[in-house]
């Protein structure tokens, strides 16, 4: 495994931080949006420029500063981090296009603040993706928590206030209350926090300590939405839809899942977990979340809330995949980060477009909307296919690998969990699409003319829906990265 | 000249006090330049002194040329070299920021205020730089008396609160004096290093034990270690912003320095941690201090008072860290002296700015401040992150060492208290952020909410504040340098 | 140690008992008394106790006060140290007395401010006035 030193990871993180003063001082909204696009494209360019090296198996490192003996603020770009970074930086561009349409379409206030914190949040996300050790990851994780708070609480009304509180309580409470002590205990035991294939432990530590540490770290990264630390996600739906899209697809929950995966693969290591038989515990916790979340999703009428619970379930798919400790499972879990991102962001864009065009938030009010907004609803259909895991969408591949992973690990209960939750996913997605397109003249709530949301909203969701289909035909990039990560 | 730095540290402020006092009579506008010049010289000397210590080791300065134990010696090693720089910088930044506040609140008393200010800085610097136990008492009282004067200049309740502080402070100083008396009886010397040399054969004697405990109680009284803290919230809250932002960051930290000096230099760690069996008890007292400080802070509806209870909790951090008895804990405690001084300065300067503009510091006064005073609140966010303990601000790094020390000593209660205090701080500060961010409430998504005009404090108040906020992050990132080059040598090698 | 040996030992250290008693009286006054000036008096007693203690430890059997015999301009020969009390505590206590006086001054000045504001020096009345606000 060759290692190159390059300042590119730091630059990728800093690009959106450095653009923030430009955003604040822009007089003209178009100039401001122009700066955001510029930063997004530069970020994607820097990230993409590192892909060839990663595909050959090299890792890129950069040390910013050593802060404790044996621990530094350090970046390391490896295959897994690259996968996540690619997803985030690509989707940021799309989300920015969408944000413009949404925020201007609704004439929202404080748009500069919105775009600023969005940029900072992306900076933190790439920071997490490229973290070389647990301390750096923790640093950027916290930065993301605090940077997304003003976004979640954007509307500044009572609802936003209580949701903001819940958001902070769960996420910051779990990270300071669980991750920080666990990280310190790890450092005290081993003297290092670097992510590596063999993990940081020597295998001689008492089993109970390992179990407690594992639980503290997995549950402590509450952004991964593992029950019981999931309630912040439905509450955070009070935010504007592009923020929800950011939360669910681009950054926040993916950061949570990514962090948990790093803990499982980099801090403990697949082999140690297998030898201590700790994977099963995590499997069952994740499986519980998958089933419960899918069941709750069935009962939700608010479209965004249903999508929120769907995300909670899907995140635990990712954790479950890795907790199976089999190579196929790990590939499935990692690939699902990418596939789910594209699928979910499409769904959220559709939900937002519906709100902008018609003002409707509840599924029961969306009967017959397919005639009014056909493009949107077709995209919704494609997005839901991806999340359920059916061809011709990219989600099929990740689900396929997950199923194979359960077989490889001889975990039959998990196979049942996966298949039944896919059925549940279908159960809460297909009725929406069906009711949107196929309904009688009396049931239809909308007039029979086509009136989509503004172009700025529709184009992104078409792009991401097309992306979901494209990932079915060209999944190699993400599959290769995931496969490199497991080697 | 550089050999005279230790003396300059005390003489320059002392003499400028006279100059300022006279200037206050002649022309008030002269006071500010004189005090800034004096403090700049002090900052320069303290940095020069620290660099000399880093290069050549301990600096010993005999006042008047009299060798100890006959004369008074100033003794500068890595520990007080660091604290000197912190004290001097905080004093300088604060006086620049306080100028407008003084002009607004009591312009006619500016002369006396600046005089007392620089005399207090003299006292604090003297406490840190001296190597003589009795000389420390004298300077302790100088700092205390000038402190009482500064604190009493405030609003209505200030004189009474200060009087209560005076009682407690005097008892504390008298206890310290008594302890030094015991030490003098058994060793015949007042020089710190000399006493340390003479004490070891006497470790089993009850007089030495009594001396230690009495000195400790005295110092704990003066640093507001729970439950001896009752004077602090009232005294600091009712004072003027300019006074409280000097005293709050510095006085308690300098007392913590005195405690560490007692532990490390005079009564060496062998006595304190090995011979005495008090370690555990004191750490549990610290745990109670941290928890009570956090809980009492939650009960306050008043920004300034809430911050004073946070000081009580922070003192608990430092006492607990020092008494864990291992290197990591002591490193955390010493690092936290510097970090906490800076964090407290940051948040109290914010309060000063808010009081200047809004004329009040109760929670109701804080509405909409994120729009009205974005720079001040930005610095407040950085200070809050530091108190909570979020990287990369410095507060995280000292907390790291304290927790590490707790883990190494097996004291999980102390670690739990530190985590608990971080979580409570999140609640404390986000309560305030909520008020500044959401209120006054607007209806319907804030669409018809006209943006409030920015009404920031004047530049001389905002710029020092922003400098402190940036320093908080820089000190955090450079922690490893501070620890490896300075603090590592401040702790005797025997401490593991 | 039995009682017969204990009592003479205790009586021999009478200076310690005096200063402890004075300290306790001072502390009691500071805590229990209501009037602010009485508290200050208590504080003063407390400080004086410590001063007395320091001076007392310099005492030697059969020694005289630490001023050179022969007075002004006399003996240039060495002084026989054992004949004189230890002067160092006296010197230190001069400083401490000065500090005590300064503290007293500040405390009384604060009392004056408080009296001008609340028209009383009784602590309970002052607290009642504050609570009424």
Asked if the Cβ–Cβ distance from A108 to B445 is below 8 Å, we say yes
Phi, psi of B155 (to 5 degrees): -75, -165
Pair B380, B304: CB distance under 8 Å: no
Q: Which residues of B touch A160 (CB under 8 A)?
A: 438
Asked if the Cβ–Cβ distance from C102 to B141 is below 8 Å, we say yes
Pair A114, A99: CB distance under 8 Å: yes
More confident residue, B349 or A369: B349
Express each pLDDT in A107-137 by its tens digit: 777 788 888 888 899 899 999 999 998 999 9
Asked if the Cβ–Cβ distance from C117 to B156 is below 8 Å, we say yes
Distance of CA A215 to the CA centre of its chain: 21
CA–CA separation, A451 and A441 (whole Å): 18
Select from B430, B436, B466 the residue whose CB has the most chain A CBs within 10 Å, as the one to mutate to test that interface.
B430
Greatest C-alpha distance within chain B: 79
**pLDDT for residue B372 is more than 50:** yes
Min CA distance, B361 vs chain A (Å)? 22
Phi, psi of A428 (to 5 degrees): -100, -5
Q: Which residues of C touch B189 (CB under 8 A)?
A: none
List of residues 6+ apart from C77 with CB closer than 8 A: none
Q: At what angle do helices A252-262 and A303-323 cross, to 10 degrees?
A: 10
pLDDT bucket at C73, cuts 50 / 70 / 90:
low
**pLDDT for residue B446 is more than 50:** no
DSSP B340: H
pTM given for the model: 0.91
Q: Which residues of C touch B141 (CB under 8 A)?
A: 99, 102-103
Distance of CA A414 to the CA centre of its chain: 22
CA–CA separation, C33 and C37 (whole Å): 9
Indicate the residue of C43, C47, C99 with minimum beta-carbon distance to B138. Answer: C99
Asked if the Cβ–Cβ distance from B423 to A188 is below 8 Å, we say no
Q: Name the percent of chain A lying above pLDDT 90.
A: 10
Give the ipTM of the model, two decimals please: 0.89
CATH second-level architecture of C11-68+78-132? Answer: Orthogonal Bundle (1.10)
Strand partners, A77: A60
Min CA distance, B231 vs chain A (Å)? 32
Asked if the Cβ–Cβ distance from C50 to B138 is below 8 Å, we say no
Min CA distance, A430 vs chain B (Å)? 32
B–C touching, 3+ CB–CB pairs within 8 Å: yes
Chains in contact with B, where contact means 3 or more Cβ–Cβ distances below 8 Å, are: A, C
User: What is residue B444's predicted lDDT score, i.e. its pLDDT?
Assistant: 43
What's the mean per-residue pLDDT of chain C?
A: 85
Select from B438, B442, B454 the residue whose CB has the most chain A CBs within 10 Å, as the one to mutate to test that interface.
B438
More confident residue, B125 or A201: B125
Mean pLDDT computed over B172-199 = 90
Express each pLDDT in A276-327 by its tens digit: 888 888 888 899 999 999 999 888 888 888 888 988 988 898 898 888 888 8
If you measure CA to CA, which chain C residue comes closest to B70? C88
User: What is residue B311's predicted lDDT score, i.e. its pLDDT?
Assistant: 94
Express each pLDDT in A13-69 by its tens digit: 888 888 888 887 777 888 888 888 888 889 889 888 888 888 887 888 888 888 888
Q: At what angle do helices A180-190 and B394-409 cross, to 10 degrees?
A: 60
Whether C98 contacts chain B with CB within 8 A? no
User: What is residue B451's predicted lDDT score, i.e. its pLDDT?
Assistant: 62
**pLDDT for residue A216 is more than 70:** yes
If you measure CA to CA, which chain B residue comes closest to C55? B181
Closest CA to A418 of A384, A388, A393: A388
More confident residue, B194 or A102: B194
Token representation of residue A58: 């090299």
CA–CA separation, B141 and B127 (whole Å): 10
pLDDT bucket at B163, cuts 50 / 70 / 90:
very high
Indicate the residue of B138, B145, B156 with minimum beta-carbon distance to C103. Answer: B145
Asked if the Cβ–Cβ distance from C110 to B177 is below 8 Å, we say no
Q: How far is CA A82 from CA A57, A90, A319, A470, A480, in A?
A: 12, 12, 18, 19, 11
CA–CA separation, A302 and A242 (whole Å): 17
Compute, in degrees rounded to 10, the torsion defined by CA atoms B327, B333, B338, B340: 150
What is the residue-wise DSSP string for B68-112?
Answer: TTTS-EEEE-HHHHHHHHHHHHHHHHHHHHHHHHHHHH-GGGHHH
Express each pLDDT in A240-268 by its tens digit: 888 888 777 778 899 999 999 998 888 88
**pLDDT for residue B443 is more than 50:** no
Token representation of residue C9: 């030992």
B contact set with C (CB within 8 A): 134, 137-138, 141, 145, 148-149, 152, 156-157, 159-160, 162-163, 166-167, 170-171, 174, 177-178, 181, 184-185, 190
**pLDDT for residue B290 is more than 70:** yes
Asked if the Cβ–Cβ distance from C50 to B181 is below 8 Å, we say yes
pLDDT bucket at C72, cuts 50 / 70 / 90:
low
Residues in chain C: 133
Phi, psi of A62 (to 5 degrees): -155, 125
Of A30-39, B98-107, C23-32, give the range with the top mean pLDDT: C23-32
């Amino acid at each position: 495994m060759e290692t190159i030193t390059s300042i590119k990871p730091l630059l990728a993180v800093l690009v959106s931080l450095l653009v923030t003063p430009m955003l604040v001082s822009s007089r003209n909204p178009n100039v401001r949006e122009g700066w955001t696009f510029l930063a997004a494209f530069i970020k994607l360019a820097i990230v993409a420029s590192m892909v060839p090296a990663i595909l050959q198996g090299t890792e890129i490192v950069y040390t910013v500063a050593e802060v404790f003996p044996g621990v530094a603020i350090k970046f390391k770009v490896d295959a897994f981090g690259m996968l996540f970074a690619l997803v985030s930086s690509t989707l940021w561009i799309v989300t920015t296009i969408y944000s413009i349409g949404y925020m201007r379409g609704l004439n929202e206030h404080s748009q500069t603040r919105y775009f600023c914190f969005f940029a900072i949040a992306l900076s933190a996300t790439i920071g997490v993706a490229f973290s070389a050790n647990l301390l750096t990851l923790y640093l950027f994780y916290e930065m993301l928590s605090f940077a997304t708070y003003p976004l979640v609480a954007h509307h500044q009304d009572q609802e936003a206030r209580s949701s903001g509180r819940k958001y902070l309580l769960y996420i910051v409470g779990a990270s300071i209350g669980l991750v920080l002590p666990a990280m310190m205990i790890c450092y005290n035991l081993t003297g290092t926090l670097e992510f590596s294939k063999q993990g940081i432990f020597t295998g001689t530590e008492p089993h109970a300590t390992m179990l407690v540490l594992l639980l503290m770290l997995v549950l402590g990264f509450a952004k991964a939405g593992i029950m019981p630390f999931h309630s912040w996600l439905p509450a955070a739906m009070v935010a504007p839809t592009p923020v929800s899209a950011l939360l669910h697809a681009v950054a926040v929950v993916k950061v949570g899942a990514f962090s948990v995966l790093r803990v499982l693969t980099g801090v403990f290591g697949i082999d140690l977990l297998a030898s201590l038989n700790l994977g099963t515990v995590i499997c069952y916790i994740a499986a519980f979340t998958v089933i419960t979340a899918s069941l709750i999703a069935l009962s939700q009428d608010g479209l965004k809330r249903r999508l929120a619970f769907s995300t909670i379930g899907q995140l635990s798919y990712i954790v479950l995949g890795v907790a199976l400790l089999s190579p196929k499972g790990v590939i499935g879990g990692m690939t699902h980060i990418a596939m789910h991102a594209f699928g979910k962001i499409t769904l959220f864009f559709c939900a937002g477009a519906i709100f902008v065009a018609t003002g409707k938030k509840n599924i029961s009010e969306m009967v017959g909307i397919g005639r009014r907004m056909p493009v949107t609803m077709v995209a919704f259909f494609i997005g839901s296919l991806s999340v359920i895991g059916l061809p011709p969408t990219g989600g099929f591949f990740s689900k396929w690998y997950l199923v194979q992973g359960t077989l490889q690990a001889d975990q039959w209960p998990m196979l049942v969990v996966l298949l039944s939750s896919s059925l549940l996913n279908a159960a809460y997605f297909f009725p929406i699409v069906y009711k949107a397109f196929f309904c009688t003249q009396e049931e239809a709530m909308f007039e029979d003319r086509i009136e989509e949301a503004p172009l700025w909203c529709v184009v992104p969701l078409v792009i991401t829906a097309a992306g979901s289909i494209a990932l079915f035909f060209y999944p190699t990039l993400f599959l290769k990265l995931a496969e490199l990560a497991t080697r | 000249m550089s050999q005279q730095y230790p003396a300059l540290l005390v003489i320059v402020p002392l003499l400028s006090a006279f100059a300022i006092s006279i200037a206050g009579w002649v022309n008030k506008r002269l006071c500010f330049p004189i005090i800034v010049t004096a403090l700049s010289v002090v900052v320069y000397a303290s940095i020069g002194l620290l660099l000399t210590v880093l290069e050549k080791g301990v600096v010993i300065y005999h006042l008047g040329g009299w060798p100890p134990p006959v004369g008074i010696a100033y003794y500068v090693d890595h520990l007080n070299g660091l604290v000197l720089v912190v004290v001097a910088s905080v004093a300088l930044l604060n006086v620049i920021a306080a100028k407008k506040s003084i002009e607004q609140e009591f312009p006619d008393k500016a002369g006396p205020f600046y005089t007392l200010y620089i005399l207090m800085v003299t006292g604090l610097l003297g406490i840190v730089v001296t190597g003589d136990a009795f000389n420390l008492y004298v300077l302790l009282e100088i700092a205390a008396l000038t402190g009482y004067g500064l604190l009493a200049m405030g609003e209505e309740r200030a004189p009474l609160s200060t009087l209560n502080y005076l009682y407690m402070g005097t008892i504390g100083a008298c206890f310290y004096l008594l302890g030094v008396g015991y030490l003098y009886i058994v060793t015949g010397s007042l020089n710190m290093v000399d006493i340390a040399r003479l004490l070891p054969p006497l470790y089993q004697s009850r007089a030495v034990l009594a001396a230690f405990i009495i000195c400790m109680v005295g110092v704990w009284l003066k640093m507001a270690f729970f439950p001896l803290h009752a004077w602090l919230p009232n005294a600091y809250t009712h004072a003027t912003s300019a006074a409280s932002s000097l005293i709050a960051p510095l006085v308690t930290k300098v007392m913590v320095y005195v405690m560490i000096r007692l532990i490390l230099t005079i009564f060496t760690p062998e006595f304190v941690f090995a011979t005495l069996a008090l370690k555990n008890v004191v750490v549990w007292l610290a745990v109670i201090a941290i928890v009570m400080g956090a809980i009492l802070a939650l009960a306050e509806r008043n920004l300034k008072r809430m911050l004073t209870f946070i000081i009580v909790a922070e003192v608990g951090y430092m006492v607990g860290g020092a008494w864990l008895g291992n290197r990591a804990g002591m490193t955390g405690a010493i690092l936290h002296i510097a970090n906490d001084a800076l964090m407290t300065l940051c948040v109290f300067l914010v309060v000063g700015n808010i009081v200047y503009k809004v004329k009040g510091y109760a929670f109701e006064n804080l509405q909409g401040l994120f729009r009205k005073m974005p720079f001040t609140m930005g610095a407040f966010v950085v200070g809050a992150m530091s108190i909570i303990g979020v990287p990369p601000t410095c507060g995280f790094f000292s907390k790291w060492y304290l927790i590490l020390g707790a883990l190494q000593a097996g004291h999980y209660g102390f670690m739990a208290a530190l985590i608990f205090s971080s979580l409570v701080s999140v609640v404390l500060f986000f309560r305030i952020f909520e008020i500044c961010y959401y209120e006054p409430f607007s209806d319907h998504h804030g669409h018809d909410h006209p943006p409030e005009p920015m009404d920031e404090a004047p530049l001389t108040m905002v710029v020092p504040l922003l400098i402190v906020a940036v320093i908080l992050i820089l000190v955090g990132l450079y922690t490893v340098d501070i620890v490896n080059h300075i603090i590592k040598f401040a702790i005797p090698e025997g401490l593991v | 140690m039995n009682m017969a040996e204990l009592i003479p030992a205790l009586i021999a250290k009478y200076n310690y008992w005096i200063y402890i008693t004075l300290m306790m009286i001072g502390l009691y006054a500071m805590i229990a008394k209501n009037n602010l000036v009485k508290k200050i008096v208590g504080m003063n007693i407390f400080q004086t106790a410590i001063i007395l203690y320091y001076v007392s430890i310099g005492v030697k059997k059969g020694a005289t006060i630490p001023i050179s015999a022969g007075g002004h301009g006399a003996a240039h020969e060495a002084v026989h140290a054992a004949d004189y009390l230890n002067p160092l505590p006296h010197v230190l206590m001069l400083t401490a007395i000065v500090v005590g006086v300064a503290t007293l001054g500040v405390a009384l000045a604060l009392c004056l401010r408080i009296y001008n504001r609340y028209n009383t020096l009784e602590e309970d009345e002052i607290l009642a006035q504050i609570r009424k606000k």
